[in-house]
Structure 1
């Protein structure tokens, strides 16, 4: 039989092994069968892999370059320049069993199956797991698509079949805007001095958490050499956080901010508010004050106004005022 039973991390798994001498050359290949398959299903898959390995060894079929192969090449060549390197590597490692042995030229059915697995509340082993939102699925498949495209670019695979991948659209429809009173309630409930200051800075600057923690206060504003869009940015300092800018030096770690934020939002009666919603709230405050979307985009650090359009519905009063001016000249 092409498969054997082994124990890995305390659980029973099946391993496929191909070992033959073809034209005087000894060929040996081995890999784990995907988790969740029965012994019969593992044997059937093993026979399929046997046939494919033999076809490749005898020259009747080209070698299969898997998504796992694409990821390894992409990581080796490009990961040093990824801004989100740590998180991306963690995600790729987490879902490796789902894509490791998948042919990078046969993506449609696999992407549908993978999305179904991520949305499921049950693992392959029958254990309960947390279903993934479409935004998460979109990001994971996006990482894999980038790896496959790179493998095609450098000639590892013949065709770029990523257009056949079924990838859920990433929704940017979360619209949670908090007023100053609600922000202050959460800040007051926070017992950590630096986190309390960060909450106020987020509301009065529109900066992301990571930006707040590394921004350098200057006379001209908060200076950021590195931003998400790759360009430096200067955010004017609101008078109500001028004292914080002068006196508070942020040394707190991101995980601590998140931990203290969760405790403060629950204590203040706002359990569903995310720290990032303070950034949305800053945009809302500016737009409701009559600031145009182009200027708001500049404050938030959006490279184009496309990302700022999510706030366009807030500018209805400004639009109405503009329409009333038609024909008045």
Structure 2
């Protein structure tokens, strides 16, 4: 029988094994059957997998490329250039059992099931797990989509079916907007001079933490060279941080910024505030001052207008004033 009972993490599971000599070649494959199905269902699935392997081995059918195959190829060929290599590979390894044997051309129903599993509060064995946010699900499916697209690009799969994937959009609800007063409260709650300066620069420039720490002050503004969107950028220097730009040279490490930031935000009474929220707050301040979204996107270094649209709801409160001005021209 190709199906055997095994114990996995203290729970009974079924495992399928195929081992035969076909046309002089020994072929052996094994696969853990999804949890939660009966012995009869496992046996039926095993017979189906037997037939598929036999058909491929005899040339009656082409081998099916799985998402796992695409991911391995993508990592082998392209991972050296990934800035987020560690994070991406950790995520891909964590969820490998969910996509490893999934056919790359059959993505709609699988993506729905996978997203549902990531949102669930229990794993396949019924043990409690942390539900993932829309943003995490979006990023994980994005990694897998990129691997499949690459596999199609190099001819590993005949068709790119990633348009059928259901990928939830990351929620913008997590954005927190604070004003100058709250920013200064957190800045004054730390004894680290460089962190205090970095907080002010982030608020008055909209730069990310990494950009704040490596920005080079010039006559035209903060020079960033190559940024996240792949383009060089100059950020004007606000008069309130002109002295900091001239006098402070950042040598503090990002890890220390995060540690000291956590202490300062709690001490200041804003434990929910992330350093990146200073960037969102800068956008809010500009929009509330009447700056259009296109210009705000330019300051923040957004590559496309779609990135700036997340702040569009901040403009809503000014719409009534805009409408009231219709017909007032004399």
In structure 2, the residue matched to 1:260 is 260
Contact 1:34–1:97 (Cα < 8 Å) also in 2: no
1:328 aligns with 2:326: no
State the alpha-carbon separation in 2 of the partners of residues 34 and 213 from structure 1. Answer: 49
State the alpha-carbon separation in 2 of the partners of residues 282 and 34 from structure 1. Answer: 51
Change (3 A) 1:319 1:82: farther
Deviation for aligned residue 1:241:
2.0
Contact 1:33–1:42 (Cα < 8 Å) also in 2: no
Deviation for aligned residue 1:230:
0.8
Query: Does 32-41 or 218-227 show the bigger shift?
Result: 32-41
Change (3 A) 1:6 1:248: farther
State the alpha-carbon separation in 2 of the partners of residues 160 and 298 from structure 1. Answer: 33
In structure 2, the residue matched to 1:243 is 243
Query: Does 2-11 or 60-69 show the bigger shift?
Result: 2-11
For structure 2, the 5+ residue unaligned runs are: none
In structure 2, the residue matched to 1:132 is 132
1:66-94 Cα offsets, whole Å, 9 max, x none, are 10001111222222333333322222122
In structure 2, the residue matched to 1:71 is 71
Contact 1:206–1:299 (Cα < 8 Å) also in 2: yes
In structure 1, the residue matched to 2:166 is 166
Change (3 A) 1:46 1:284: same
Change (3 A) 1:38 1:305: closer
Deviation for aligned residue 1:26:
2.1
In structure 2, the residue matched to 1:228 is 228
State the alpha-carbon separation in 1 of the partners of residues 228 and 163 from structure 2. Answer: 26
Query: What do you get for the CA RMSD once the two structures are aligned?
Result: 2.8
In structure 1, the residue matched to 2:56 is 56
Secondary structure, counterpart of 1:157 in structure 2: coil
1:272-318 Cα offsets, whole Å, 9 max, x none, are 22221111111122222233333222211112333223334444548
Change (3 A) 1:317 1:15: closer
In structure 2, the residue matched to 1:307 is 307
In structure 1, the residue matched to 2:94 is 94
Change (3 A) 1:105 1:325: closer
Change (3 A) 1:106 1:306: closer
In structure 1, the residue matched to 2:207 is 207
Query: Does 305-314 or 105-114 show the bigger shift?
Result: 305-314
State the alpha-carbon separation in 2 of the partners of residues 61 and 182 from structure 1. Answer: 65
State the alpha-carbon separation in 2 of the partners of residues 263 and 318 from structure 1. Answer: 39
Deviation for aligned residue 1:132:
0.7
Secondary structure, counterpart of 2:310 in structure 1: helix
Change (3 A) 1:319 1:231: farther
Secondary structure, counterpart of 2:210 in structure 1: helix
TM-score of the aligned structures, taking structure 1 as reference length: 0.88
1:177 aligns with 2:183: no
Query: Does 7-16 or 213-222 show the bigger shift?
Result: 7-16
State the alpha-carbon separation in 1 of the partners of residues 181 and 287 from structure 2. Answer: 18
Change (3 A) 1:164 1:318: closer
Query: Does 150-159 or 198-207 show the bigger shift?
Result: 150-159
Contact 2:16–2:33 (Cα < 8 Å) also in 1: no
State the alpha-carbon separation in 2 of the partners of residues 47 and 255 from structure 1. Answer: 53
In structure 2, the residue matched to 1:33 is 32
For structure 1, the 5+ residue unaligned runs are: none
State the alpha-carbon separation in 2 of the partners of residues 191 and 163 from structure 1. Answer: 51
State the alpha-carbon separation in 2 of the partners of residues 13 and 253 from structure 1. Answer: 47
State the alpha-carbon separation in 2 of the partners of residues 78 and 10 from structure 1. Answer: 38
Contact 1:173–1:310 (Cα < 8 Å) also in 2: no
In structure 2, the residue matched to 1:155 is 155
Secondary structure, counterpart of 1:306 in structure 2: helix
